[in-house]
A and B are shown apart, each in its own frame.
Chain A
Amino acid sequence: QVQLVQSGAEVKKPGASVKVSCKASGYTFTNYDINWVRQATGQGLEWMGWMNPNSGNTGYAQKFQGRISITRNTSMITAYMELSSLRSEDTAVYYCARRPGAGTLGARYFDYWGQGTLVIVSS
């Protein structure tokens, strides 16, 4: 069955960077885009960006441009989201989510999600 398993919780100081991993199983990793969505405590969902694991092409929400990098290691069937220059407002649960399509093909909703990774930014 399809699974996305994320790395564990992180505590970071303001100004630092965090890198969250998302390991895929149960499907062909390179055939489906991976997206990242975050959720601050008690708040709604916020889309951050996407990556095509086959090409490595990415796209990011304007809000995170310059601070976010989504990459992959195809041999390890793992996607990564790195966020830099962390501030307290970045404290949230970060989710990876699979899109049932890739590139210009297929739909753009999210059919499978990782379990979430809590990132706490605190001095």
Chain B
Amino acid sequence: DIQMTQSPSSLSASVGDRVTFTCRASQSISSWLAWYQQKPGKAPKLLIYKASSLESGVPSRFSGRGSGTEFTLTISSLQPDDFATYYCQQYNSFPYSFGQGTKLEIK
């Protein structure tokens, strides 16, 4: 099974900051990686698929990069609505797996 590891586990930042999260896979997953945003009590929301493709309706301040085993999600200028937990997911092979999440908090 492929293990997904996210870092950091939590991050404090301010509105307007640029932040980057990292997700590493235990083996190559090509570009078969998605990023989700989850707010308390809500279902995850798809942000990025195929490592760098922006889902329709998602603000352009979100961007994804990477391939193989290392991936990043960047928010170019944090907005108040962005404070949430972010998960990566590999869909290269079964069983699909998620990282443990990065919680983005307001500084």
Contacts and interface: CB of A to CB of B under 8 A. Distances in A.
Interface of A: 35, 44-47, 59, 61-63, 95, 97, 107-111, 113-116
Contacts, number: 51
Chain A contact residues: over half helix, strand or loop, or mixed? loop
Nearest to B32: A108
B59 to A, nearest CB: 17
Nearest to A108: B91
In which size bucket is the chain B interface?
20 to 34
Contacts of A63: 95
Nearest to B34: A109
B16 interface: no
Contacts of B32: 108
B94 A113 contact: no
B43 A44 contact: no
B46 interface: yes
Please give me the 4 A-B residue pairs with the lowest Cβ-Cβ distance, nearest first. Answer: A108-B91, A109-B34, A113-B43, A45-B98
Contact of B96 (A44, A47, A114, A116): A47
A61 B96 CA distance: 8
Contacts of B55: 111
